[in-house]
Structure 1
C-alpha cells in the first residue's frame, strides 16, 4: 500500500532520481534541492509525493494557472512514478491530490501538457478524465545570464 503526502526537503534525492530515470531530465541534484525549497515556500505551488515501503516512488508538482482569457486553474508541471511501481494507482492518487487542492482553492480545473511521444501517458490521463485535442508547439529561448561583477 502507498500513501500521499506533501513534499519534504529531504525528498530531493528521490525526486532527482525520478526526474532522471523516468522523465529524462538531468537537472543537478543540488539545484533540485534548492528548487524544491523555493517552491515549498511559495503557496502557489504544491508538490505531493507517493510513499511506499518508506520510499518516495512518485511525485507531482502543480501550480496556479492564471491567464487573461480563462478562469483560475491549476497547472501540472510534472508527474513521475518509478517504473517498478506503475499500474498500482499511484499516478491516479497523485492527480487526485492536485485535484483536491484545486477544488479546495476554488480553481475551475486542472490542466497539463504532455509530450507528443508519451502515448502511454496520454492514455492514462484520458482514463483519469482529462480531455483535449489541442496540439501545440513548445518553444523555449535560453537566456545567457551574466554575473554582475562588483
Structure 2
C-alpha cells in the first residue's frame, strides 16, 4: 500500500520528531528540551507558521516559515527550516510542505516565499528548483554571539 502523506499544523507534542529530524536529516545538534521550548514559543506567534507532514500519524517532515518584512521589498515569507525524514524523502512530502507555506503566503498577501540553503546541500538545491524556486544570489552568512 502507498504511503498517504497528510499535512497539518504543528503541535507541541511534535517536538521530539522535529528534534530528531533536525539532528538526523539537517545535522543540527540541539537539545530536545530546548527544541520543545522553542516550538512552544513559535506556535504562539502569528508571524510564524509550522506545518508537519505525517504518514499513519507519524511526523515524517516539517517546515517552519516566518514573516519577512523590510524596507526594500514586498512582504514575503521566509522558510527557516524544511526537513523530511531520510526514510521518507522522494515521496512528495517536501513539495506538500512548501505548498502549505505558499498557500499561507497567498492568504496573507505576501508576494514571495524565500529560502536560503547551505552551499553543500546540492540535492536540496535541485529539489527547490524542481519546485519552481529560482536561485538568485550567493551570500555569506555572518553571526556574532552576544
TM over 0.5: yes
Q: Which runs of 5+ in 2 are unaligned?
A: none
CA–CA separation in structure 2 for the residues paired with 1:28 and 1:135: 31
Counterpart pick for 1:88 among 82, 91, 108: 91
CA–CA separation in structure 2 for the residues paired with 1:117 and 1:25: 15
Counterpart pick for 2:72 among 69, 91, 94: 69
CA–CA separation in structure 1 for the residues paired with 2:136 and 2:68: 19
Runs of 4+ in 1 over 6 A off after TM superposition: none
Which residue does 1:133 correspond to in 2?
136
Which residue does 1:113 correspond to in 2?
116
Q: Which has the larger radius of gyration?
A: 1
Residues 34-54 of structure 1: CA deviation (Å, up to 9, x unaligned):
100100000000000000022
Using the size of structure 2 for normalisation, the TM-score is: 0.97
Q: Is the partner of 1:79 in helix, strand or coil?
A: strand
Residue 132 of structure 1 deviates from its aligned partner by: 2.1
CA–CA separation in structure 1 for the residues paired with 2:110 and 2:19: 29
CA–CA separation in structure 1 for the residues paired with 2:38 and 2:21: 15
Q: Which runs of 5+ in 1 are unaligned?
A: 144-150
Paired residues in the alignment total: 143
1:35-50 alignment, distance < 5 Å: 35-50=38-53
